Amino acid sequence: MRKNTFSKISFLLLATIIMWLKTYVVYKTSFDIKIENFTQEFILFINPLSFLLIIFGLGLFMKERNRNRWVIGTSILMTVILIANMIFYRFYNDFLTIPVLFQASNMGDLGSSITELIQPVDLLMFVDIALLIWISKKPYFSKAAQTTRKEKTAYFLMAAAVFFFNLGLAETERPQLLTRSFDREMLVKNIGAYNFHIYDALLQSKTSAQRALADSNNLVEIENYLNANKKEANKEMHGIAEGRNVFIISLESVQSFVMNEELNGQEITPFLNDLIEKSYYFDNFYHQTGQGKTSDSEFLLENSLYPLGRGSVFFTNANNEYHATPEILKDYGYYSAVFHANNRTFWNRDIMYNTLGYDRFFDVTNFDVNEENSVGWGLKDVSFFEQSVQLLKDVPQPFYTKYITLTNHFPFELNEEDKLIDEFDSEDGVVNRYFTTVRYTDEAVKRFIEELKEAGLYENSVFIMYGDHYGISENHNPAMAQFLQKEEITPYDTVQLQRVPFIVHIPGITDQNPKVFHDVTGQIDLKPTILNLLGIDTKNDIEFGTDVFAKDRLPFIVLRDGSFITDKYVYTRGTCYDVETGEPTEDANACEPYMEKAKNELDYSDKIIYGDLLRFFETDEQPESEPTTNE
């Protein structure tokens, strides 16, 4: 382009350069994007440019007086997108997707969580906007001459060249990049945050059409894959809890690193530690949730399907056909109920619980919630469990019940009188407070068990307790390194921190022969395990999990971001680690045999959900779901 062309679009180019540099600074300061070599750093640096050249360049088609307005308006919009991703990333360590925006109804309930995530420094993001507004009023920039057709063509050819150069370099560095839609960090690192959102919109259009185009043939390949990989459940464990009441306790944000650990000489989870000595405990059990967090853990529990890589299934596919645990148990005389002192619409639970076959949902309206018994996200766990025992009187036996705790939820607030352990001493208030709320939840579970004993509901029951997802995100790695007495938290350590407790307690059975299992297991395994304990055969069901007690189970678990764990290796962020050393393997191809399996597991599960394929699945049991009520 000629010199006079640059003078015509100088304000546009100035805004592009400022936004380009601002985006790169945000990449480096607000996102934990792992860079392994100079090429990756260069790709990260240039990837915002092509989109910004195009989006700002649209102003070239506008009249002179509107061009600067377009540039400033676009700068504001891009800044808002950056800030939204920054705030979301601070807790979820993830980037916004279109399905997450459909969950906007959740935002009204986030309260102090959002307040904790927004920082005063975020206001600096608008400094350049104010500068652009001021510059636009200067005589040199206030009027932009009209560009010719040739100049516009040259400009957009340049933008296209930058885009394809970026994409080609990215594909060379990471082959089949655009097929890894579940790995958002990889996509943002290579094609940029803005292009990622365009890609995400295309994915949304594609997935929205999958249900309409699906037929029963789409399920055959998946059934063949699952049948070929299915492992027989443990026959010795089959039916050992048959006919018992089932208590599922979702331990909000509890991670395994607090189990059997002390802080300042005090046990962090004294009751759960004691319970483990009377139970079957799995210390290598992983959460596998995505952007749906607690709702994802529920989806895994009830269906043995993976949650979606984008958004929450509870929102995006709540009207699908599923063959969920509550629905299955109906045919065996079980009544199912959920206890959760939150709004029934949060995570779209009122709709999804009906779909899953639950008979009743005890939500916040069924509990006495006031200022004295509430903190943070709502009703304290102690009061929640106390009131739940009273509500159980209305639940027919045998029952399958699920309890979702609240107190140990980010940002981990707790009244002073409820703190049973001192805070951790670091510069990170979130991590410091975490230990006090974990300890409180531990105490609440203890009291719950005691009250069930008094009510005569303990002996003839089976208790399944598990952590739903992580509580401490990677944004708090320095404080976590301090607690774990490590120099730093590596990607390998991050995967290990995705372990959550999993306890199976069967009074009269596990206390006679408790055991700690070190097998690699995950939330995908909950459904087949529970049903086998209750004496229900699921060998013909559509499920990706395996009974955790199965003697020939494959030591393999895949996380929603595509990372996977075996008994020997951990694969994450493009690197294969040795489990024994925690260091990258000497054999760079050691993880290769598992990569295709990990991809298939996630892809097949996504196809089932997006295509609503279980409507084509025929079983011998066709239970009719009763409406979920709240009376």
What amino acid is encoded at 325 in this protein? T
Asked if residue 514 has a cis previous peptide bond (ω within 30° of 0), the answer is: no
- Between the CA of residue 526 and those of 104, 206, 509, what are the distances in Å? 29, 31, 19
Count H helices, E strands: the chain?
24, 18
Q: Which residue, 105, 164, 129, is CA-closest to 22?
A: 129
The amino acid occupying position 123 is L
Neighbours of 420 (CB within 10 A): 14
Q: Could you say which DSSP state residue 150 is in? A: H
Residue with tokens 């967090």: 293
Contact (CB, 8 A) for 462 and 509: no
- Strand 266-267 and strand 399-404: the pairing is unpaired
- The total number of residues written for the chain in this structure: 631
In terms of Cβ atoms closer than 10 Å to its own Cβ (0-12, 13-18, 19+), residue 62 is middle
Distance CA 372, CA 375 (A): 8
Q: What is the CA angle 565-566-569, rounded to 5?
A: 80
- Give the C-alpha distances (Å, rounded to integers) separating 17 from 10, 186, 261, 306: 10, 24, 50, 41
What whole-number distance in Å separates Cα of residue 177 and Cα of residue 444? 46
Contact present, 522 and 476 (Cβ < 8 Å): no
CA angle 375-91-293, nearest 5°? 80
> Is the separation of the CB atoms in 547 and 517 below 8 Å?
no
Distance CA 307, CA 559 (A): 10
- Residues with a known catalytic role: 294
Cis amide linkage into residue 411, ω under 30° from 0: yes
Q: CA-CA distance, 125 to 137, in Å (whole number)?
A: 21
DSSP secondary structure, 304-370, as one string: --PPPSSS-HHHHSTTS----HHHHHHTTT-EEEEE--S-TTGGGHHHHHHHHT-SEEE-GGGS---
Place of tokens 């919109």: 201
What residues have CB less than 8 Å from 622, skipping those under 6 apart?
none
Helices 217-229 and 592-610 sit at what angle, rounded to 10 degrees? 140
- To the nearest 10°, report the CA torsion of 419, 420, 421, 422: 40
276 and 259 Cβ atoms separated by less than 8 Å: yes
Residues 106, 84: Cα–Cα separation, whole Å: 15
